[in-house]
Structures are given as structure tokens and as C-alpha cells.
Structure 1
């Protein structure tokens, strides 16, 4: 570990390696930074540029290896030029044209494993010290379809077509397993997703309530030090306290999180949140009973994915398999509106919100996900600017933000990215509402001042979190807007009171 790292590694038989705080940590403290051992396209990738990872509607090929890139600049980026480009050129392996570049392209499955394999030769000391001991779960994966898939699309392709038989089948499968289990998602400056292998970050054990936060900075250079990560304490952590990352999406309910972890990371999570039928009081997986007025439907054993689910007020019973089907149907509806923005995005989400309001507990995960989308659209979509919204809609945005924060306080406490975003979204409607109330004599000057100070504090909390985000990311850019707005509110406080 680095000299400045604020964690140490421990081991036990149950979980293997894990990290603990070397000293008392305050929320926001940088625990460590690192650059990825390797990075590249995710599995199931469509056709993307191998230099910058943008999606390609029309395919332009590298003049040296004949694989897709945007242009000469991308062709010459180190991540491509010094890795697969050399291999493909030497072996004469060219990209095979596809009909639809937006569809999953199996030719891309080999790219990131190949980059890891080549990195073992370019940086053997780091491979030996940090990577080769990472969990690959080859014993489990051999029994699953993914092993046969990788055998055909990665192992045989690299060893035969690419003439890389110096890498054994076992090593290539191990690399695939290390990537599947340990890689983290990163975003390019344009918002596209890739995967990166961070050995230190991978040591952090999983918990469905994380106490650390990581931010990945893409400089867009394509060099070896691109996609560096900063890992900070999200909350205060005492010396010796275990450091937890989350390997799954925190807003999902327990049934979905545990299924994802079992299928992709090969373990059953038994953390405090997963073990609690109310998910620490958030009710993220809870449904309303359709057979009685006041009952809610809860799991009888959250760690059993086939157990009974019962109503708290009547005799109604169902089972986890049926509940999982309900969640899958709702997720399909949410997926259908994920990339719908503007007024249509608001209307589509409000329709789903009304549809599931009578089915799901108000704090259920899917209601929370819908709220998250709505608060980021109200105030931005055409025809829904904050200055144009009636007080009723402004109050709705405030209510949605507060309901979100109530859940986030439990499942993503402290300095989490989403918390910073929601606090920023909250300050705007509060500001407009306070001005309207003062102008209409609903509140007096002193109450208006008090409310403005509260709004400045909320924006300050948002700024504190968002400033930790790299400027290459949208959240980092939002931090600049938040900082400017915060300074203006403080500097013009008296003027705002007099001119409201």
C-alpha cells in the first residue's frame, strides 16, 4: 500500500482480505488514490471507439490494425495503440463488419481481458503484488455458462486467431474472472460506461450501506494514468473500523440486490440491511396489501429468496418468487422511461408514479427511483423551468426531494454523490417558494431571512459534496454552478431581502 494510504489490510477465513481505517477518518477525508491496472470496454459492449469509447454510428477503422476508432487522435491514444493495436496488427486480425453497431458486439469481449494480459507483461511487479491474488472464483465459474462463453469468445480467440498462446487458458480465464468480479464502472467525459480494474478499491469489502465514496476522473488522454480514482470517507469512521464499498445499486430492494450479487459476484450478502425485513426502516422492498386497507407486505426471512411474504394486518400471503416477478415487471416499466427526458419524461414518470402508488409502499425502491428522475427534470425540462412552475408543483418538487433524502440518509449516508445532487435540486424550489411567500405576505421579513439562511446552508451542504467530484464529470461541473450560486447568495443576502 502507498505511504499516504489511510487504510491497512486484514484477513480472515470468512471474507479473506478486507480493509480497515488506519486512523480516525472524517467524512470527506481522502483514504487513497490509485490508477487502474487496466481499463476498457464492458462486457456486452456495442461497437465503440477503442480510443475514447464513444458509440460509433458510422465505423471508421484504425489505419494500423483495422479496428474501430473515431479518428487519428483516438487511434494514437496509448490505451489502444500500445495494447490491442499491436497484437491485432501483428496477427492480421481485423474487425469484422457488423450490420448494427448499436447491438452487442462479441468481438469486443476480448479487448479488456487482452489489455490486462498485456499489462501483466508491461507491469509485472504490479501484477504480482496487487492483481494475481484477486478473487476470480474459477471453481464456481467453471460450472456456469459464462465459462464456456469466455472459452469461445476470449480464450480461443486470443490464443488462436491473435497468436497469443504464450498466455495459458487458465490465466486468461482467471483474468476474465478477476474482471467480472472486481472491475468497477467508470464514465467517459461524454457519459459512456467502461470498466476499470482498481486493486486497492477491490479490497474494500461489500456492504449494502457503504461508508466510503469513490470518484473516477477521466482526463480523456487515453494514457496509462487516465481514470484515476479518489476514495474518500463518506461518513466518520473510527480507527480500526472496516471500510465498506457497495458492489450493487443502493436504490434496489434486497431481493434484487442479493440476486445481482449472487449472479455477478458469487456471494450471498448478509449485511445488516439485507437481514432486516424493513431494510433499516426504509421499506425499500415493501408493498401495500391489496386485500386490506392498512396492511403492508413484508418478507418473513429476507435472507431466503424463496420464503413467504405476509401482510402485517390480514391473512394474505404470497412468496418471494412472485414478488420478484412484480419487481421485474416494474423495472421493465422504469427501463422504458429511463432515456425519456423533457416534458415527455416528466409525464411518463408521473404516470408510472400514479400507477404504482397503490401497489408499493411510499418509500419502496421503485418509488424512490421515480422520485430521483422527477426531481432532476422538474425545473429543467422545457416548459417546466423553476420560474414558470406554479407553487403547487414547486411544493411537489420539495416534497419529492425531502422524501428522497429521508431514504438516502439511511442507505447512502454522508457525502454520497446522489445526496449532493438532491440537495442542489432542493435549494432552487425552496428559494422561489420563499420569495413568493414573502411577496404575498405569507411570511414576514424575519422569517424570509431565516428561510434564506436555511437555503444557503442546504446549498453549502450540496457544494461540500459535489466539490469532491472530478471536473470531468457532470457532478463536478455542477459543483462550479453550486459554488457560484452559493457565493452570490451570501454576498447579495441583504439585496435579496430588499428587492424580493
Structure 2
């Protein structure tokens, strides 16, 4: 990212520390700022990846200088590897130890991203002092957790021992590990693989479970209100979000959404009561992860711990089909959807998560291509999109990536259904024109959102396709009506 724009000013108070506010009143779609990462590299608990492009590798091709996994000469020469760990490993003669299964977690990689941060500190001391040094590592809390000993063995002792980097103190290395754990953001490479990046300016943004900004990370390359990002997956229920924030970011979120039993009316955490007909089960105190959960209509009670176990079981079912596409992917997700329909509120987080996957599959999977879908499945896709958007309007308002994708998925079945209804004399030509225009407007809104995404990523590429499709549909609108 370039550093060509900055509409943020950093402020400090005793309650929350450093936070960011806009310099001027912002409107939807404004680019607030851009920045280059201070450092980036493999995620923790990664499998074997190329240290140049981060694609999975079988670890048989090694860098000719340091003997760590790469794809080949091109990746060996990438600056992120060549000018960082490659020099250290070559000088210390620290070689990668062969592994039996390169798809399993490889602890040898734990040192890579912390090492890149340490070396970036030496290469750019001014930026370290001005931007990175002040990032919170929460060492006081982390010292009491297993992660401290894990890092001591896999990062601190490895870098100061075999890698001969005793110029970096144990305290500094632990601090860098903490800065990464608390502040790093996930990003996708152009080929879709996840890495972690340290963006000091982005990390200043305070967390809120309903964010008012959205960030896009390209791996290729004023007002009084505070600007909020979100450190969690917005579709998760409160129990899961707060647990994640407590374990990984070391704070208890008390935002408006977390404090509300209904999650701002979305019922993202609500369950159905199986003891009565009309009751739903909600937390008596969303900020207490051990409180009672009660039915709104009968005397039924349960415990937050029990609810968390239910959520974990549902998540495990969803995880079991995560990488299954095609017809089996649709059938598997629909089976889970039906299984929990009587357990979860219709707007519950896990229903929304399933909808998000299904809207992507209907229209693309073999045997479920858009042109071949019967009206009942076209209506199903529209229903899933509309239900998902109803939730997103509250928890991800504005021009969020998932909203843009959902709108794109919605425009196709809207067009197909309108055409079928007109052909079967269900609607008039005038109504058909209206419905067709509605679908085209939906596509335009999707374009307006997704065009903000880097073209190196799938969403940015989709924006280019959607823009071309919108232009074609607009130009041929009258012909589409007359020839339907």
C-alpha cells in the first residue's frame, strides 16, 4: 500500500490509551489512510510454506543459500526472504530440518515473522521508534499463559541460540511476539493463502463489534467520533467473540453490541426454546460468560457454559464441510442448516455463516449453475441473500466486503426470476422492466463496494467483472426487455 492519504489523527486518554479519530467528516467509500506493512510473514501454527510467496510446499525445494523451503529461484530472490531470514540462517548455518508431513503444523516457522520484525527494526529504526515501539504486547498477561513458554522455546531460545542473534534481548523478542499476537492482521496473498502483517497505523484503530470502517490489504504490492475496526469475525455470537478477544487480544469487549442481549436486534446469539412454542433463550448478562440463560416465555434455564458447548458443536459441524465444494458442499451445508433450524433463532450467527457459504455455492457448483437452477432454488438463493443482508445491515453496516459479495450473488437470481415470471405471464412487461432494473441496481451497489478491493485479490477481480457486466446490462437494457 502507498502512503498517499491520511485522514486520521491519533489521540490518547487514560481509559483506552491510543486511538484514532477522523480529521474531517467522512462519507461512505472514503479512503481514510493507506500504509505499508512494517513486516509480514507466515502465521503462527503454519504448515510448510514457501518463504517467498507463502504457498504450501512439500519442503523438498530449498533455498540455495540458507536451505529453507522456497518454490524455486524466483521466490528465493524475493526481498522479504533474501534480505531478512536468509542472511541470518546462511551466516549461522541454520538449516531447515526435513519433516515427514509438510501439511502438519511446522514449529520451525514460528521464528520467521518475529525475526522479520526484529530485522525491520534495525533496517528502519525511525519507524520502529515512531510507530511500532508503542504497540501493546501485553507481556504482563502473556507471562501467565502457555504462549510465553511456547515462544521462549520456539522463538527466543532458537533466535538467540542456533541463529546467534544474542544482540536481541529475551525481553525484546518476547515483546515482538506479543506485538504480533495482539496487533497483527491476517491478509491473503494473491493466490489466497493467509499470512500475518504488522500495520502500525491500522492497529491503532479501536475495536468495536460493529465497525464503522473496513480495511483491505493488498499483498501485491474529520469528526469527534472514534474510528473503529473489528478484531473478530463479525458473524460470530457474543460468547465466541468475547472469548476470542480475551484470549488473543487480552481485553473484555463491552461495546454496545456485546452488552445487548439481542445483539442490536439481530439475535445473533439467541436459541429457540424446546420446552415451549414461542420462547427464545437469551443471556441474562451478555458481559458475564458464566451467567444464566433464560427462556423469554417459560421457566426453562440453562448456563452460559452449556450454550458455549452447543456453539462449539455447531461450529465443528460447519468446519467439517468448510473445504467441501460442489454439490456435496451444498448438500452438506443444507443438512446442517436443517439440523439446527429448530435449535437456533433464524438470525443466529451460525445460520448466517451457513447462508454466507450457500449463497456462494448456489449458481456455481456443478449441477447447480445459475442458468440451470429451477425457480425454487433461485428463490432459495434470493431468500438466503436477503436474510444475510438483514443481519449485515446491523453488524457490518456500510460498504463491507461481505455485503458487496452478497449483493453480487443476489443480482443474478433476481434477474432470472424476473425473466421467468415475465415469460410465464406472472408479471407485466412494465413490472419486468422494474424488476430487471432492481437487479441491475443491486449489481451496481456491489460494484461500488468491491471496486475498493485490491485487484490482486479475488474480490477486486470480481469487481472488474461486475463492472463490465453492469455496463453491458445497462447498454442492452431495452433489448433484454424486448427479447425476454
Asked if residue 477 in structure 1 is aligned to residue 478 in structure 2, the reply is no
Counterpart of 1:75?
A: 76
Query: How far 1:4 sits from its partner (Å)?
Result: 3.7
Displacement of 1:3: 8.0
**What secondary structure is seen at the aligned counterpart in 1 of 2:21?**
strand
1:394-441, CA deviations, whole angstroms, 9 ceiling, x for partnerless residues? Answer: 001000000000000000011000000000000000100000000111
- Cα distance in 2 between the residues matched to 1:307 and 1:245: 28
Q: Distance in 2 between matches of 1:122 and 1:134?
A: 18
Q: Distance in 2 between matches of 1:105 and 1:3?
A: 38
Larger relative CO (CA 8 A, sep 6+): 1 or 2? 1
Question: Deviations 1:272-311 (Å, cap 9, x if unpaired)?
Answer: 0000000000000000001111110000000000000000
The question of whether the paired residues in 1 share the 8 Å contact of 2:4 and 2:34 is answered with: no
- 1:298-317 equivalence runs, <5 A: 298-317=282-301
RMSD across aligned positions (CA): 1.0
- Alignment size in residue pairs: 483
Q: Which moved more, 1:4-13 or 1:435-444?
A: 4-13
- Give the aligned partner of residue 21 of structure 1: 22
Residue 259 of structure 2 is aligned with which of 275, 283, 302? 275
For residues 215-242 of structure 1, give each alpha carbon's deviation from its aligned partner in whole angstroms, at most 9, with x where no partner exists.
Answer: 11122xxxxxx4xxxxxxxxxxx61210
Gapped runs of 5+ residues in structure 1?
220-225, 227-237
Structure 2 unaligned residues grouped into runs of 5+:
none
Deviation readout 1:298-343 (Å, 9 max, x if unpaired): 0000000000000000000001000000000000000000100000
> What are the Cα deviations for residues 36-85 of structure 1, in whole angstroms up to 9, with x where unaligned?
00000000011100000000135211000000000000000000000000
> 1:131 aligned to 2:132?
yes
**3-state SS of 1:34 partner:** coil
Contact 2:392 2:403 in 1 (8 A): yes
Is 1:48 matched with 2:49?
yes
Q: 1:318 aligns to what?
A: 302
1:188-228 deviation digits (Å, cap 9, x = unpaired): 11110000000000000000011111111122xxxxxx4xx
- Normalised TM-score (structure 2): 0.99
Task: Measure, in 2, the Cα distance between the counterparts of 1:263 and 1:119.
Answer: 27
3-state SS of paired residue (1:190): coil
Q: Determine the structure 1 residue equivalent to 2:89.
A: 88
- 2:153 and 2:304 map into 1 onto residues whose CA distance is 36
1:386 aligns to 2:387 (yes or no):
no
Alignment of 1:234-313 (within 5 A): 239-313=223-297
TM-score (norm 1): 0.96
Match of 1:331 among 306, 309, 315: 315
Q: Provide the rounded CA distance (Å) in 2 between the counterparts of 1:142 and 1:129.
A: 26
Per-residue deviation, 1:452: 1.2
